[in-house]
Amino acid sequence: MNIEQSARRDLAVAFRWAARLNMHEATANHFSVAISQDSQNFLINPAGRHFSLVRASDLLLVDLNAKNFGIAEGQVVDPTAINLHGQLHRLLPHAKCILHTHMPYTTALACLRDFEFLMLDQNACRFYKRIAYDRDYAGMALEASEGDRVAHVLGKEKSVLFLANHGVIVAGNSVAEAFDELYYLEKAAQLQVLALSTGRELALIDDETADLVCKQWLEYPKSAEHHFAALIEILDQQSPDYKN
């Protein structure tokens, strides 16, 4: 399996599981993965395809340096996808996989004024000092300038961006890594929403411990690879058409 074939399979897995885990919005939201060294060539979902139905062959190959982005006639990429993911891949080439969702619990927290992710449990500590915050919701990304702005807010030092009144962006070195991050971010956000809803005082983890746990997460051997391999195995048994 070559680089593009592998990327197509993995991204299709991410779409299918985002749908299964209610981390999607039907045909909205977009996932992309670069297949070139400079990240200027990447795969992304076509407009109008439901997350639960995405197949490897459905994904469109975008070339940021080609006329009409190298997209063949009859193939359509949502303009917000090109403006957002295109600028992120162009300006942050180290971010090989970019997942943008409006998943419910993380987005709920992004809608709280001046909210910053709480170091409330072990999963939350994974994201200690790794989250950037865009406090200025400016509508849909119908212009490339909005993608440019968002890319600069995320920057090169963070891997997660909370978009106020909008959703979240997670960037990773691979589909497996990015999806693993997306999964645990939503799990931690769900716990925070539940804990905040009790109205009781929160027992927050101190900075020193949170920093330690974050390092332990990032150094844990092959956790993302094992997680993603299990997701592939389940789909191979239950919905093997994702590979088509």
Distance CA 69, CA 118 (A): 40
Query: Residue 204's closest CA among 98, 113, 89, 125?
Result: 125
User: Per residue in 178-230, pLDDT tens?
Assistant: 999 999 999 999 999 999 999 999 999 999 999 999 999 999 999 999 999 99
Is residue 164 within 8 A of residue 111, CB to CB? The reply is: yes
Q: Is 68 left (phi over 0), alpha (psi -120 to 50) or beta?
A: left
User: Per residue in 5-60, pLDDT tens?
Assistant: 999 999 999 999 999 999 999 999 999 999 999 999 999 999 999 999 999 999 99
Joined together, the tokens standing for residue 244 give: 């088509």
Mean pLDDT of the chain: 96
User: Per residue in 60-104, pLDDT tens?
Assistant: 999 998 888 878 777 889 999 999 999 999 999 999 999 999 999
Is residue 164 within 8 A of residue 194, CB to CB? The reply is: no
Query: Residue 134's closest CA among 98, 161, 102, 170?
Result: 161
